[in-house]
Chain A
Amino acid sequence: SQTIHQWPATLVQPVGSPLSLECTVEGTSNPNLYWYRQAAGRGLQLLFYSIGIDQISSEVPQNLSASRPQDRQFILSSKKLLLSDSGFYLCAWSGGMGDGYTFGSGTRLTVV
């Protein structure tokens, strides 16, 4: 069966520090991978999606970037965190072809 792992569960980082959140999927190949942020009043905001290795699309211009160095690994990064980067970040995968998404357990990021 397919599983998705996302870590860390919580993270407190100072302003200006770098960020790296990792997400991996098991039990499937060539998944579509997504990074979402849950923002108050805006629900789940799509940040990045990837349909293959090194194929990243950005939905919202911001202080974040994403990379997919391996088929089942998706990384969310920042070189310098801002206070406004605080939030709940979710990784998700789908098999494509109109399938629903399966989400990871999320990362609560607090920038101080």
Chain B
Amino acid sequence: DQQVKQNSPSLSVQEGRISILNCDYTNSMFDYFLWYKKYPAEGPTFLISISSIKDKNEDGRFTVFLNKSAKHLSLHIVPSQPGDSAVYFCAAIDNNDMRFGAGTRLTVKP
């Protein structure tokens, strides 16, 4: 049962443009959402998070938007850089249980 879904397995963007990564969830009890970034052969690293009481959180080039009614969140990267090329995982927490999406591979072309 995939409670967190990332329906786009890959995304390709030109350097300098905006990257938008999407995530949908089914469990209305999720109250905290996170994005992780992962390079090959490394563990995921935390990128940005948002509490369910907010609808936007911004950190430099990264902004996460949460639409609770639609059970949807997105990560915006502006401007995109080649070093942003990685797999991005969306995650959601319900109490002490964190679930991950399948990941989206972002490729930023110079």
A residues near B (Cβ < 8 Å) are 6, 9, 32, 36, 41-44, 46, 51, 88, 90, 92, 94, 96-98, 100-106, 108
**Who on chain A is nearest to B90 by CB?**
A43
Q: Report yes or no: B42 in contact with A96, Cβ–Cβ below 8 A.
A: no
Q: Report yes or no: A108 in contact with B41, Cβ–Cβ below 8 A.
A: yes
Q: 1/0 contact trace for B74-107 toward A, CB 8 Å?
A: 0000000000000001010101101111110000
Measured between beta carbons, the chain A residues less than 8 angstroms from B49 are: 100
Q: Report yes or no: B31 in contact with A100, Cβ–Cβ below 8 A.
A: no
- Is B6's CB within 8 Å of the partner chain A? yes
- Is B62's CB within 8 Å of the partner chain A? no
How many residues in B have their beta carbons less than 8 Å from beta carbons of A?
24
Q: Which of B93, B98, B100, B101 is the most central at the interface, judged by chain A CB atoms within 10 Å of its CB? A: B98
Q: How far is the CA of A42 from the CA of B1 in the complex (A)?
A: 11
Q: Report yes or no: A105 in contact with B102, Cβ–Cβ below 8 A.
A: no
Q: Report yes or no: A100 in contact with B100, Cβ–Cβ below 8 A.
A: no
Measured between beta carbons, the chain A residues less than 8 angstroms from B93 are: 98, 100
Task: Given A90-B44, A103-B43, answer yes or no on A44-B96 (Cβ-Cβ < 8 Å).
Answer: no
Q: How far is the CA of A61 from the CA of B38 in the complex (A)?
A: 26
Q: Report yes or no: B96 in contact with A98, Cβ–Cβ below 8 A.
A: yes
Q: List 25 A-B contacts (CB under 8 A).
A: A9-B41, A32-B96, A36-B100, A43-B100, A43-B101, A43-B102, A43-B103, A44-B89, A44-B103, A88-B41, A90-B43, A97-B96, A98-B31, A98-B32, A98-B93, A98-B95, A98-B96, A100-B46, A100-B49, A100-B91, A100-B93, A100-B98, A101-B98, A103-B43, A103-B45
Q: Report yes or no: A42 in contact with B42, Cβ–Cβ below 8 A.
A: no
- Is B16's CB within 8 Å of the partner chain A? no
Q: Which of B31, B36, B44, B102 is the most central at the interface, judged by chain A CB atoms within 10 Å of its CB? A: B44
Q: How far is the CA of A108 from the CA of B100 in the complex (A)?
A: 20
Q: Report yes or no: B43 in contact with A105, Cβ–Cβ below 8 A.
A: yes
Measured between beta carbons, the chain B residues less than 8 angstroms from A102 are: 46
